[in-house]
Chains A and B, each alone.
Chain A
Amino acid sequence: MQSLVRTALALIVAIGALYLYDTRHRRIDAAAFSIQNSVTLGREIWKGKVYTASEVGDIMKMVDANTDPFPTLNGCAPLVVLWLGNSQLHFINQAKSGDHLAPYWLRHAVKCPDQTLPLGVSLPNANLQEHLVLEHYITRRLPVRMILLELCFDNMREDGLRVEFKESLKSDERDSLRANRDTKSILETAEAEWQKGGGNDPANSGSGLTGFAQQSLEDRLDTELSSLSPLWNERGTLRNYVLSDLYYLRNYLLGINPSTVRKMIPPRYERNMQALTAILRDAAQEQIEVIGYVAPIRQDRPLPYDGVEYARWKSQLAALFVQNHAQLLNLEKLVPSNLWGTYHEDDVDFMHFQGPGHQIVARALLPYVENAEGASQ
C-alpha cells in the first residue's frame, strides 16, 4: 500500500509543479509581450489592407486580399514589388512608438504609393526553398514586376518547408508546385516529412491516429479536458516553455551565445543555392526584375560565421547573379553599429536592427523601385 500511496503522491506533486512552472513562465511572457502591436507582430497596413506579413497563413491571406487590380492613376501604372526576407524584415529591435518596418518606409517614399505595392513577405529563419515556393505561389497570383530578395548567410543552414505550409497549400496549389521541376522536389520532400510526423510543431499532433476510429474519441476527450482544465489547455504552450528552457540550458552549459561561430551544413547549403538559382531562373522567365541584397549584419563584433565560408558564399552569389542577369547589392555594412541591439556582453543580436535601420534599408532599395516605377509609367 505504501508504494501505491507514494506513486499517487508523486503524481500530485507533478501536477503542482506544472502549475508553478506555467505560472512562472506566464509572468515572464506577460512582461515580454506587453508592447505588442500590429508592427511588432510583423504587419503593416495601408488603407485597411495588410501588405507585410510574417506567417505562412497570413501571407496567403494577404496575397488573396491584394488580387484586385488597381487602376492607373496620375500617370502611375500598378507595380507589385515582392520583398522576400526573414525576420530581419518583420522584427524591430527595441521597438518604439512610431517605428515601422522597411516596406512601410518604401511605400511612403515611392512616387505612387497607391499604385506601387511593396509586398513584405517574411518568415522567421526563412530558407531559400521556402522563398522559392512563396515566389512561385505569389507570382502566379499577382502581377509581380520586381523581387527584392534578402540573402542571409544564417538561413543557408535552414532546410525544407515548415509544417505551416501543409495547412496553407491547397491541392491545386500543390499540383502547380509539382508541375515545376524545382518546386516539385522541395514539396515532395516536405510532404514525406509531414506524413511521417516530422517536426515538433503542435500542428502535427494527432497524426499517429490517422486511420483510427479512436481519433474522434481522442479529439472529443481533448476538447472536454481543455474546457475543464486550463492547465491541459496550456499544454502546447508548456511544450514551448520546455523547449526554450532546454535551449537556454544547452547554451549555458556549452557556452553558446549569438557570437558563437556556426559551421555551414553542406547539403542544406546546396539545396538553398539550388533554390536561389531556381528563383532567378523563374523570375527571368516571368520577366520579373530581381534585386538581391546581402543582408545587413552588425559590424562591431566578430561575425558568427566561418570567414572562409562566408566569403565563398558571397562570391558564389555574385557569380550566380551575373550569370542570371540579376542585380546583387552588398548591404552587409549598411546599418551602423549603434542601431543594433545589445542587452549585455553575451546577448548580441546580429540579425535585427532598431527602427531607424528599417528606414535605412528602405532608402537603399528605393532607387531601384523608383526606376521600375519610371519604367512602368
Chain B
Amino acid sequence: MLFNTISYVVFLITVTIAYWLMPTNTRRWLVLAASLLFYALWRWEFVFLITFSAFVDYFFSIKIYDETRETRRKLWLILSLSTNLVLLLYFKYSYFLLGNVQQLGSLFGQDWHFNIGRIILPLGISFYTFLSISYTVDVYRRLFTPIRNFTIYLSYVVFWPHMIAGPILRAHELIPQLTRVARFDAERFSSGMQKILYGLFLKVALADQIAPYVTEAFLAKPAQLSALDVWTMAFAFGLQIYFDFSGYSMIAIGSARLLGIEFPENFNWPYLATSPRDFWRRWHITLSSWIRDYLYLPLSGVPFRDESAGGLEVRVLEPDSVRLSLALFSAWFLMGFWHGANWTFAFWGIWHATFIWLYRLSTPRLAALPTAVRNLGGWSLTLAVSMLGWIPFRATNLASAFALLGRILDVHAYHTLTFRENFYLIIMIVFLGMLSGHFLRKWLAQSSSVVRHGAEFGLLAFVGFVIFIYLRPVEQFIYFQF
C-alpha cells in the first residue's frame, strides 16, 4: 500500500480507531491483520513469501538460542542468513548477476543467453531482510532472547509502518512495544498526526513536484548539458530523494505513534552535515547504524553496538590501518549494492567511503583551523560531495554517471543553461527554503509558547491545505524500488 493515497488515510483512521477501542489483548491481532492487509494491497501472493521468510528466521533463531554447542549455533546462523540472502539474491540480483555473466562470456567470445522469465521484486524485501538478519544475529550474539510466539515475531517483521522502507528497527526496540499494553496519550497521538501531515507534505508537495523536472533532466544526453545543469540536477535529485524518503519515514514514525509505538528518527537535516561522517549520522540513520553494527565494526574488529540510532557516530579510536580502511570500503560498497542491482549504486557507496576515508586522514591536519572556517568549509564540501554523489545514484548506468560527472570538471562547461529557467529557480528556492526551515525551527524552539503555538497552528493549516489538493499517488516512494 502506498502512504500518499486517500485509501491509506482511510486505512489508518480505521485501524487507529479500532485499535484504541478494542480490548487490549486483541490489539496484537489487529496489528498483524492490518499489516498483512497493507502488504496484500500491493500483491497478496507475496504475503506467503514474507510469512515463509519470517518463519524460517523465527525457527532458526530459537535453534540458535537453545543450542549450546558453538559450531551448531554457527551452523543455524549460517542457515538462517543463507535463506535470507538467497531469497534476496534471487529476487533482486538475478538479472544483474546473469547480465554480468553474459557480458563476461562475451569477452571470451561466448554468446550465453539466460532466460529466467519475469521476476517481480517483492516490495520491501531489502528492508525486511536486514530486519530479519539483525534479529538472528542479535540472538546469536545473545543480545536478545528470541520470541517464542510466531504471531508476535511475524508482527515485528510485517508491522506496516516500517515493513516496506524502514526505519530498520532492532528487535529490542520494537518487540517489547508490540507485546506491552499501550495507553492512549493525547500529546503523543497529536505529535503522530503532525508527523504524518509533515511527511505527506514533503512527499506530495515537494518530492512529487520536483520529480518531473528530475526525470526530464536525467533523460537528456550528458554531452548536451552544461556543468551548471549537472550541479542543478544533483541538487534537484538530492532534494527529491530527501523529501521523498524523509517524508516516508515521518509518515511511518507518525503512523506507529498513533498506536503508541515509538520508532527512532531516520533523518536529521543531512544537508547541514559538516563532514562526510556527520552526513551518515544524519542520513538514513537506521541503515547506517545497521551497516555500522553488522558490517563495519565487525569487519574492523571493533566492539559493535546494538541500537538503530547514531548512524556512523562511532569513532574508531585506533590509528588508521589497512584493515579499517578495507572495512570501510567493503561496508559502504555492500551498502551501495543493497540499494539496487546496478554498479551505479556500488559506485555511490565507494564514493561516500572515499570521502569518509579522506576526511579521516585530513582531520588531524584540519584541527588547527578556526571552528567557524572548519564548519563552513566542512559544510560546503560535504554538501557538494553528498549532492554530487546522487548523480551516480540516479544515473541509469556508469557510463552516463561518469559522463555527467565529467561535465562538472570541464571548466568550459560553466557558461550555459540547458533547461527551462523554472527548474533552476525552483531548486534554488526549495534549497534555500529547506535551510530557512532549519533556522526557523531553531528560532521557534527558543520563542515564547504563544509564538511557537501560533506558528505551529499556521503551518499545520497550510500543510493541511496543500495536502488536500495534492494528495494523489502520482509517484511511488523512491525507496520502494530498493
Binding site for B on A (CB under 8 A): 1, 3-4, 6-7, 9-11, 13-15, 17-18, 21, 157, 160, 189, 192-193, 196-200, 204-209, 211-214, 217-218, 221-222, 225, 231, 235, 238-239, 242, 250, 262-263, 265-267, 270
Which chain A residues border B474 with CB–CB below 8 Å? 197, 204-208
**Residue of A1, A9, A198, A209 touching B212 (CB-CB under 8 A):** A198
Indicate whether A267 sits within 8 Å of B186 (C-beta atoms), given known contacts A200-B209, A242-B469.
no
Chain B's closest residue to A4 (CB) is: B190
Q: With contacts A14-B465, A157-B420, A235-B469 known, is A250 near B41, CB below 8 A? A: no
Given A204-B474, A218-B6, A265-B417, 11 other A-B contacts at CB below 8 A?
A: A3-B190, A17-B465, A18-B468, A160-B216, A208-B2, A208-B475, A209-B5, A212-B2, A235-B468, A239-B469, A266-B416
Chain B residues within 8 Å of A, Cβ to Cβ: 1-2, 4-7, 10, 40-44, 186-187, 189-191, 193-194, 197, 209, 211-212, 215-216, 219-221, 224-225, 416-422, 425, 453, 456-458, 460-465, 468-470, 472-476
**Which residue of the partner chain, among A157, A198, A218, contacts B215 with CB atoms under 8 Å?**
A198
Instruction: State whether A267 touches B220 (Cβ < 8 A).
Output: yes
Contacts A14-B468, A193-B216, A193-B219 given; does A3 touch B461 at CB 8 Å: no
Q: Known: A157-B420, A267-B418. Contact between A197 and B187, CB under 8 A?
A: no
Q: Are B464 and A10 in contact (CB under 8 A)?
A: yes
3 closest A-B pairs by CB:
A14-B464, A10-B460, A208-B473
B6 touches A222 (CB 8 A): yes
Residues of chain A within 8 A of B419, CB atoms compared: 265
A266 touches B418 (CB 8 A): yes
Q: Are B212 and A214 within 8 A (Cβ)? A: no
A4 touches B189 (CB 8 A): yes
Among A189, A197, A231, A238, residue most surrounded by chain B Cβ atoms (within 10 Å): A197
**Chain A positions within 8 Å of B42 at CB level:** 211-214
A-B contact pairs, 28 of them (CB 8 A): A1-B187, A3-B190, A4-B189, A6-B460, A13-B457, A13-B461, A13-B464, A192-B219, A193-B212, A196-B215, A197-B475, A198-B212, A206-B473, A206-B474, A207-B474, A208-B2, A211-B43, A212-B1, A212-B41, A212-B43, A213-B44, A214-B2, A214-B5, A218-B6, A222-B6, A235-B468, A235-B472, A266-B418
Minimum Cβ distance to chain A for residue B452 (Å): 11
Chain A's nearest CB lies how many Å from the CB of B163? 14
Cα–Cα distance between A199 and B191 once the two chains are bound (Å): 34
Shortest distance between the CB of A202 and any CB in chain B (Å): 8
Contact between chains at B215 and A4 (CB < 8 Å): no
Interface centre among B420, B464, B469 (most CB of A within 10 A): B469
